[in-house]
Structure 1
Amino acid sequence: MECFRIDESGFTGFDLLNADQRFQGASAIAIENDDAERLIKQYFPKLQAPELKYHALSKREANHPRLLGLMRDLLSNFKCVTYVCDKRYMLTLMFVDYAVEPYYYERGLNLYANGRNYAMASMLHMAGPTLLGKPQFRRLMASFQRAMKIKDARALKELVEAARATNWEQLPEVVGPLAQYAPRECLGAIATPELTTDVAMIVLTSLITRMEVMADSAYRVEHDQSKNLATYHELLQRFIHHNDTVQFRATEITTLSFPLKLTKVVQVDSRRSPAVQLADVMIGAAIEAGNKLAGLRTGGLDPEQLLALYANEQFIHMLPSTDFEEQRRFRQGTQGGELIDYLATNLMGAKR
């Protein structure tokens, strides 16, 4: 049975405002341990460490050509995909999904149609600090994140107060529902017990949509035994055990159909799995590139050289974009709203 090895980076649970971890993501690669071991020996014949770790290798400039060569080999010869998201943008997207969208839904407007929610979140993320006031915007996002976690009356009250403290009249269509009306449907969505700001489900859903396309038949997943991946493991089990027959068009190029071809997930010791170590290299390189392009880190691989190695379908990113027409075209006719509701209800136990 074909096996995809996966690894993650940047996981901070519900805290999407973590200053040290701006990006989160995961990589999946279908490679056998024999091939992985051969490639590691080919590119790093003098490796003394018990396992290949991207961040340890990227610190030395002498390793950069080898890392780029290894990445070129993996991306050229093996089925693989990498997903990276800006967690602060994801928080604004969740704000739109839970603190804004229910207001419009109750009034008959589909905010998910043609990616309207993504466009609104991009506008909020990029223009919010200027239009709403920088400290006020920070307080709004922090209050929303806290309300999604705590879910009590005090946290919800603080969120409404934070919305009203902004220059919300500058973005009334986004912040107005909370600031002007504080509608019960928005506060009710935020208070829903199973809904959190943890984006692990989003990361996994993106990986699975690609693995399902790349896999010829039934396949399994292996990953490391780290504490962070325990969350991914539990979510993968939910996907595997969901046997309803249903299909959603997620984007212009992807669909998600249940039941999945994924049949099994296994935790392994990464020190004994060269294939999992290569998944670490892939996601480590992608997260480092994101940090460098955002001006948050120095050193490491040249991100332009790295990103040039990917084919379009090998790299998925969730970043803010002001190209609203492209967003509309890419998501035209998709079932984003239906998919979000379905996953929340059937895999997370939440109700609208």
Structure 2
Amino acid sequence: MECFRIDESGYTGFDLLNADQRFQGAAAIAISEDDAERLIKQHFPKLKAPELKYRALSKRANNHPRLLGLMRDLLTDFKCVTYVCDKRFMLTLMFVDYAVEPYYYQRNIDFYADGQNYAMASMLHMAGPAILGKPQFMALMVSFQNAMKEKTVESLNGLVAAAQATNWEQIPEALGPLAKYAAPECLNAIATPGLSTDVAIIVLQSLITRMEVMADGPYQVEHDQSKNLATYNELIQRFIDHTDTARFRSTEITTLSFPLNLSSVSQVDSKQSSAVQLADVMIGAAIEAGNNLAGLRTGGLDPEKLLALYADEQFIHMLPSIDFEEQRRFRQGTQTGELIDYFATKLMGPP
């Protein structure tokens, strides 16, 4: 049976404001152990470390051509996909989903139609600090993250106060539901048990959506035994165990259908799996490129040379965009609201 190996990077649980890890992502590649071992020996014939680790290799400039060559072979010859998101933007998007959208839903306005939620989140993320006040905007995001975690009266009141402390009148469409009305429908959504700012399920949804398209039939997933991937493992198993029939259009080019073709998930010691090590290389390279392009880090592979290797369907990113017309077209007719509700009620409740 076909097996996709996956690895993740940048996971910090509910804390999407972690200063040291701005980006989160995961990669999946369908490759056999024999092919993985062959490629590692071909590109790194003198490797003495017990396993291939992207972070260690990218520190040395003389490894960069070999890493780019390896990435070129992986992206050219094997089924693979990489997903990367800006965690601070994801937090802003969640703010729109839970602290804004329920207010409009109660008034029979489909806030997800044609990606309106994505457009508002992009605008808030990119212009919010300047319009609302930079420290006030950051305090708002901290308060929202805390309210999503704590779900107490104190944390919810603190979120309303944080919204009122901003220049919210400049963007009343986004901040008015909390700052002006303390909308109970929004506060109730934030207080919903089981919901958090952990975006692992969003990362997995994106990977699984592409794997479902790439796989020839039933397939398996294998990953490392790290602590972070234990969370992913539990979520993947929930996807597998979900046998209801459902279908959702996520974007212009992606659809997610249940039940999945994904049949099983297993954990291995990455030192014993060359294929899992290559998944580490793929996501490590992508996260490093994101940090470099954002000006947060220097060194490593040239991000422009790396990104030029990807085909459009091999790289998924969740980043803010001010090309609102393009995003409207891309997300026209999607079922984002229905998918969020489905995940909340069917997949994120008690096991």
TM-score w.r.t. the length of structure 2 is: 0.99
1:23 paired residue number: 23
Check if 1:96 corresponds to 2:110: no
**Structure 1 residue 193: Cα displacement:** 1.1
Partner amino acid, structure 2, of 1:146 = N
Within 2, Cα distance between the matches of 1:224 and 1:48? 20
Check if 1:73 corresponds to 2:37: no
**Structure 1 residue 60: Cα displacement:** 0.1
2:342 paired residue number: 342
**Structure 1 residue 46: Cα displacement:** 0.6
**Structure 1 residue 203: Cα displacement:** 0.1
2:311 paired residue number: 311
1:148 paired residue number: 148
2:58 paired residue number: 58
Partner amino acid, structure 1, of 2:226 = S
Residue 111 of structure 2 aligns to a residue whose secondary structure is coil
2:127 paired residue number: 127
Check if 1:137 corresponds to 2:127: no
2:190 paired residue number: 190
Partner amino acid, structure 2, of 1:247 = R
**Structure 1 residue 51: Cα displacement:** 0.2
1:265 paired residue number: 265
Partner amino acid, structure 1, of 2:116 = R
**Structure 1 residue 256: Cα displacement:** 0.3
2:113 paired residue number: 113
2:218 paired residue number: 218
Within 2, Cα distance between the matches of 1:58 and 1:19? 22
Once the two structures are superposed, residues 96-117 of structure 1 have per-residue CA deviations (whole angstroms, 9 ceiling, x without a partner) of: 0000000000000011111000
**Unmatched 5+ stretches in structure 1:** none
Within 2, Cα distance between the matches of 1:188 and 1:343? 17
Equivalent residues in 2 for 1:241-252, closer than 5 Å: 241-252=241-252
Within 2, Cα distance between the matches of 1:156 and 1:334? 31
Bigger shift: residues 341-350 or 151-160: 341-350
Partner amino acid, structure 2, of 1:326 = E
Once the two structures are superposed, residues 242-297 of structure 1 have per-residue CA deviations (whole angstroms, 9 ceiling, x without a partner) of: 00011111110010000000000000000000000000000000000000000000
Partner amino acid, structure 2, of 1:156 = L
RMSD in angstroms over aligned alpha carbons? 0.6
TM-score w.r.t. the length of structure 1 is: 0.99
Residue 100 of structure 2 aligns to a residue whose secondary structure is helix
Partner amino acid, structure 2, of 1:31 = I
1:333 paired residue number: 333
1:179 paired residue number: 179
Partner amino acid, structure 2, of 1:164 = Q
**Structure 1 residue 233: Cα displacement:** 0.1
1:287 paired residue number: 287
Within 2, Cα distance between the matches of 1:336 and 1:214? 22
Within 2, Cα distance between the matches of 1:102 and 1:333? 20
Partner amino acid, structure 2, of 1:29 = I
**Structure 1 residue 136: Cα displacement:** 0.2
**Structure 1 residue 349: Cα displacement:** 1.8
Runs of 4+ in 1 over 3 A off after TM superposition: none
Partner amino acid, structure 1, of 2:248 = F
Once the two structures are superposed, residues 75-105 of structure 1 have per-residue CA deviations (whole angstroms, 9 ceiling, x without a partner) of: 0000000000000000000000000000000
Equivalent residues in 2 for 1:9-20, closer than 5 Å: 9-20=9-20
Within 2, Cα distance between the matches of 1:86 and 1:318? 7
1:209 paired residue number: 209
- What number of residue pairs does the alignment pair up? 350
Within 1, Cα distance between the matches of 2:332 and 2:138? 32
Within 1, Cα distance between the matches of 2:123 and 2:103? 18
Within 2, Cα distance between the matches of 1:159 and 1:235? 29
Partner amino acid, structure 2, of 1:126 = M
**Unmatched 5+ stretches in structure 2:** none
Aligned-pair identity in percent equals 80
**Structure 1 residue 344: Cα displacement:** 1.0
Partner amino acid, structure 1, of 2:235 = L
Residue 27 of structure 1 aligns to a residue whose secondary structure is strand
Within 2, Cα distance between the matches of 1:237 and 1:209? 15
1:320 paired residue number: 320
Equivalent residues in 2 for 1:221-232, closer than 5 Å: 221-232=221-232
Within 2, Cα distance between the matches of 1:255 and 1:331? 12
**Structure 1 residue 234: Cα displacement:** 0.1
Partner amino acid, structure 1, of 2:311 = A
Equivalent residues in 2 for 1:155-170, closer than 5 Å: 155-170=155-170
2:48 paired residue number: 48
**Structure 1 residue 180: Cα displacement:** 0.1
Residue 193 of structure 2 aligns to a residue whose secondary structure is coil
Within 2, Cα distance between the matches of 1:204 and 1:344? 15
